[in-house]
Amino acid sequence: MSIASQATDRVIIFDTTLRDGEQSPGATLNAEEKLAIAHQLALLGVDVIEAGFAVSSPGDFQAVKTIAEQVGKADGPIICSLARATRKDIQAAAEALQPAAHPRIHTMISTSDIHLQYQLKKSRSEVLAIAQEMVAYAKSFVDDVEFSPMDASRTDPEFLYQVLETAIASGATTINIPDTVGYCTPKEIGILIQGIRENVPHIDSVILSIHTQNDLGLATANALAAIEHGVRQVECTINGIGERAGNAALEEIVMALQVRKHYFNPYFGRSVNSDVPLTNIKTQEIYKTSSLVSQLTGMLIQPNKAIVGANAFAHESGIHQDGIIKHRQTYEIMEAASIGLPENRIVLGKHSGRNAFRTRLKELGFELSEADLNKAFNRFKEVADKKKEISDWDIEALVRDETQNQVESGFQLEHVQVICGDCTCPTATITVVTPDGKILTDASVGTGPVDAVYQAINHLVQIPNQLIEFSVQSVTGGIDALGTVTIRLAYQDRIFSGQASDTDIVVAAAYAHLNALNRLYRYLQTQKIPAQVSE
């Protein structure tokens, strides 16, 4: 059964974290990281995973193929690849998607005059012919074909209707309307969708989809407005990452549909009070997915980010706290538990044992192997010696450090020591173990302690790189808080990120730098470029 005939009584969640999300400057993911995110997206319950743009690089082709093989099972989500409206792109998408039980080719071509004139240098009639031919070509490989008229919101409506009619006649099963440059307001999106529904023959035989960008901060509002006007698929990303200012955030769309279901129900022909969810998303997996994506892309989440920001469920002011204590709903429209953040029932500290630690991890959604659990527990005890109370945020940072942040092969940090002060030249002494087991030590001076650490590690590891971003985020409040350091390094035209947490931010910086360098080291290995190690 095609998806068009399945699901118009709910919203199909099309996740494009691994395609548009990965277009966020600096958020490049390798195939292994993409696979880890795809597995988590499947657990989250997304209907479609846009796994990449197969033709764009051999690495992305492989990532789409591996996700198709390992996540695109019969009972799993649809796996999709983007393709320009060219034979080469469509062939690459079809080949990479071959192992998927439910493959989808998403082909697109610009339709606005500004894109036609300056980018494609083609006439309207040429674009119309290309759309017709390429949708039919995609259809020769798979049943499920999505078509996007790029820059739809700035396209002459009459021409847009014509292109969409042609795409449907050629076999498209989903028609996606992109507000490519994030230009529309919610009211305009409503008018655009209504116009399409009223003027495109057979539009009701396909799934109508919306793709919003966040240039004016309106991506979520625009997507919700489109839903009110009959759209039944939303394209979105975890944490709203994506090209420029990003895309509509999955967690915002899903929680808006969940928390305000009584408002949205009538748009789905349901009775106002129906409690049947409007998406298939397991909302309790949202927080974990958000953390994983932030971790692997190196894109930090702003504390006041809706749904998943550190402050989203925090109450600071007395009047609010008083209200919450008396009756939670005075200042909360949803519970932290609904996105997978449990209430803090057991206080963990230096006297806690493995059982309490394991139980808390389970509640936070982490299932660790015995070996990973032991590593994380040892780190927990070290931190508990320095910090009075360990919060869920601390535990999560530690576990991510011990499991997701560690790049298996590469250099290991053995020792870091820093001397600094107002009358001293900041000096770092670093010891690392090389991939082939040599123990190397070096000392360097820098403009500050972090710079000294950076110089000393670079001197030992000898991999050319440029530090383009260094940021520190406090995991919780207080003087004894864990700090998470994010580092981004550039090597030629590629960017590699690393993250680490510690109560000492200089130590966290050393680990984060080495984690980023290890990603770069592995990349050099795949390119067969030798890394020189100082003797």
Ligand X SMILES: CC(=O)SCCNC(=O)CCNC(=O)[C@H](O)C(C)(C)COP(=O)(O)OP(=O)(O)OC[C@H]1O[C@@H](n2cnc3c(N)ncnc32)[C@H](O)[C@@H]1OP(=O)(O)O
State which of residues 180, 214, 391, 458 lies at the interface with ligand KIV (CB under 6 A): 180
Nearer to ligand KIV, 180 or 444 (CB): 180
Tell me how far, at minimum, the Cβ of 468 lies from ligand KIV, in Å: 25
Nearer to ligand KIV, 104 or 211 (CB): 211
Q: Which of 501, 485, 477, 511 is nearest to 382 (CA)?
A: 501
Cα 248 from Cα 186, distance rounded (Å): 13
The CA-based dihedral angle spanning residues 404, 407, 413, 417, taken in that order and rounded to the nearest 10 degrees: -50
- Does the protein bind ligand KIV through residue 116 (CB under 6 A)? no
- Does the protein bind ligand KIV through residue 178 (CB under 6 A)? yes
109 binds, among Mg ion, ligand KIV, ligand X, none (CB under 5 to 8 A by kind): ligand X
Three-point CA angle 55, 59, 62, nearest 5°: 80
Tell me how far, at minimum, the Cβ of 470 lies from ligand X, in Å: 27
Tell me how far, at minimum, the Cβ of 59 lies from ligand KIV, in Å: 19
Using a 10 angstrom Cβ sphere, with 0-12 exposed, 13-18 middle and 19 or more buried, the burial of residue 417 is: middle
279 binds, among ligand X, Mg ion, ligand KIV, none (CB under 5 to 8 A by kind): none
Q: Applying CB under 5 A, which residues contact Mg ion?
A: 20
Task: Please give the backbone phi and psi of residue 404, each rounded to the nearest 5 degrees, phi first.
Answer: -80, -30
- Does the protein bind ligand KIV through residue 50 (CB under 6 A)? no
User: What's the order of all strands across the beta sheet hosting 483-491?
Assistant: 466-474, 483-491, 494-502
86 binds, among Mg ion, ligand KIV, ligand X, none (CB under 5 to 8 A by kind): ligand X
Contact 67, 49 (CB under 8 A): yes
| Binding segment toward ligand KIV, per CB under 6 A, in 61-69, 175-183, 291-299, 508-516 | 175-183
- Does the protein bind ligand KIV through residue 285 (CB under 6 A)? no
Tell me how far, at minimum, the Cβ of 426 lies from Mg ion, in Å: 44
Tell me how far, at minimum, the Cβ of 76 lies from ligand X, in Å: 25
Tell me how far, at minimum, the Cβ of 250 lies from ligand X, in Å: 17
Q: Which of 120, 179, 117 is nearest to 148 (CA)?
A: 179
Tell me how far, at minimum, the Cβ of 182 lies from Mg ion, in Å: 9
Q: Which of 521, 475, 524 is nearest to 498 (CA)?
A: 521
Residue 80 has a CB neighbour count (10 Å cut-off) of: 32
Cα 456 from Cα 373, distance rounded (Å): 32
Which residues lie below 8 Å from residue 456, measured CB to CB, with a gap of 6+?
A: 428, 429, 430, 442, 443, 444
Q: Applying CB under 6 A, which residues contact ligand X?
A: 20, 23, 53, 55-56, 84-86, 108-109, 119-120, 150, 180, 243
- Does the protein bind ligand KIV through residue 20 (CB under 6 A)? yes
Q: How far is CA 355 from CA 340, 361, 369, 373, in A?
A: 20, 10, 14, 11
Nearer to Mg ion, 20 or 151 (CB): 20
502 binds, among ligand X, Mg ion, ligand KIV, none (CB under 5 to 8 A by kind): none
Q: Which residues of the chain form contacts with ligand KIV (CB under 6 A)?
A: 20, 82, 108, 148, 150, 176, 178, 180, 211, 213
